[in-house]
């Protein structure tokens, strides 16, 4: 009996510790005045250093909330190259997109990263709408705004898309020739995965899921409850997280709900969005891209097949490179210092050569 009591007490202690740890990590955003959750984030603007500037602007009537990063000793009378940074699916500007925007600003670029319309701190209803046309328009909108920003040389405008933002960046760059250099990191083809499942694991349920999406749209149109996909339990134990079978979703869970949690960041998207997502593909019309192209992925990423597919279809790009970050998984490229440094160094070389 004493042994059983001890086991129960130990289990309760472990659970309490995990809960306390999770709560502590989830409060990380409160410790930064800009609610940034990545390591070595800016905590205050100082003369002579990289600074962050929260901004808002309208895009098709929706208020977009963004952060602009300016280089050290920024002088508005001078001209700087600029980079648009598109965040991952479920992500926001305060996470990995902000990290890369800050690191590129440290290398002399003016950068912008914005919360997608209907997501994060940006406006738009219903919340968590996730349609490819909107996400692509977000990237065009960031280009619109940053092109008017003091000090930006519009002849030297580049773009970086991370994860889902990478897929949407490829689509935006197909038509938007303001982008003189195009880069992706851990590219995720949202349409292909929503249609076929991750690693083609849901091919047998495509019609069933399209029917669910159709019914969800009909319910919305009738004024009924909005249905959501992508819901996840934020309170899984370490043991439960460890049982998630794929690196992408297991490490993604830890990233979004533990180490880099932020209340504006969710996995949610409206079920009706699948009507658009499941008929869309980031790699369609890749032959329209003729700008210099850099696609980066972790050598151990279980999403690498998407980067490989898109890269092979970029047939009209004379200057293209597939760069593997040795040893990295998909999510590790978001935050792990040695992998982030590799990616940033490659990006700087790429942009310096092409902007």
- pLDDT given at position 9: 41
> Which domains occur in the chain, in start order?
22-189+232-266+281-354 (3.40.50.1820)
pLDDT at 1: 47
Look at the block and give the residue holding tokens 């020739």.
Answer: 177
Low-confidence ranges of the chain (pLDDT < 50): 1-20, 22
8 A C-beta contact, residue 213 and residue 280: no
For residue 29, give the DSSP letter.
G
How far are the Cα atoms of 254, 304, 319 from residue 298, in angstroms, in the given order? Answer: 18, 7, 21
Q: What is the pLDDT of residue 24?
A: 54
Contact 15/237 with Cβ under 8 angstroms? yes
Q: Are 315 and 175 in contact (CB under 8 A)?
A: no
User: SS3 string of 128-196?
Assistant: CCCCHHHHHHHHHHHHHHHHCCCCEEEEEEEEEEECHHHHHHHHHHHHCCCCCEEEEECCCCHHHHHHH
Q: Output the six-digit token pair for 18.
A: 């995990």
The DSSP 8-state label assigned to residue 124 in this structure reads -
Nearest to 130 by CA among 91, 101, 103: 91
CA nearest 112: which of 47, 73, 64? 64
pTM of the model: 0.92
Compute and round to an integer the Cα radius of gyration of the chain: 21
DSSP codes of every residue in 294-347 = EEEEETT-TTHHHHHHHHHH-TT-SSEEEEEETT--TTHHHH-HHHHHHHHHHH
């Amino acid at each position: 009996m004493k042994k059983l009591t001890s086991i129960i007490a130990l289990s309760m202690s472990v659970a309490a510790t995990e809960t306390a740890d999770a709560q502590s990590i989830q409060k990380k955003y409160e410790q930064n005045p800009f609610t940034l959750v990545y390591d070595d984030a800016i905590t205050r603007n100082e003369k002579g250093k990289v600074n962050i500037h929260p901004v808002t602007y309208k895009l098709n009537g929706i208020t977009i909330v963004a952060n602009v990063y300016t280089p050290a000793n920024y002088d508005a009378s001078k001209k700087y190259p600029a980079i648009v940074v598109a965040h991952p699916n479920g992500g926001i500007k305060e996470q990995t997109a902000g990290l890369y925007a800050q690191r590129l600003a440290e290398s002399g670029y003016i950068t912008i990263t914005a919360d997608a319309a209907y997501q994060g701190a940006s406006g738009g209803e219903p919340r968590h709408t996730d349609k490819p046309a909107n996400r692509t328009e977000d990237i065009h909108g960031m280009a619109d705004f940053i092109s008017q920003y003091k000090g930006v040389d519009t002849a030297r405008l580049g773009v970086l898309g991370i994860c889902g933002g990478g897929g949407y960046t490829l689509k935006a760059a197909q038509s938007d020739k303001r982008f003189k250099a195009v880069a992706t990191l851990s590219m995720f083809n949202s349409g292909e995965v929503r249609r076929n499942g991750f690693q083609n694991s849901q091919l047998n349920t495509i019609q069933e899921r399209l029917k669910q999406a159709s019914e969800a749209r009909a319910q919305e149109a009738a004024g009924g409850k909005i249905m959501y996909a992508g819901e996840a339990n934020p309170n899984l134990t370490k043991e439960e997280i460890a049982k998630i079978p794929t690196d992408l979703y297991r490490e993604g869970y830890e990233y979004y709900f533990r180490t880099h949690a932020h209340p504006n960041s969710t996995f949610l998207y409206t079920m009706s969005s699948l009507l658009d997502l499941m008929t869309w593909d980031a790699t369609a019309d890749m032959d329209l891209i003729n700008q210099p192209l850099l696609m980066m992925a972790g050598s151990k990423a279980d999403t690498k097949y998407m980067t490989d597919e898109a890269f092979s279809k970029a047939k009209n790009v004379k200057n293209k490179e597939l760069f593997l970050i040795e040893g990295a998984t998909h999510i590790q490229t978001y935050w792990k210092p040695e992998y982030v440094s590799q990616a940033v160094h490659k990006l700087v070389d790429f942009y310096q050569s092409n902007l």
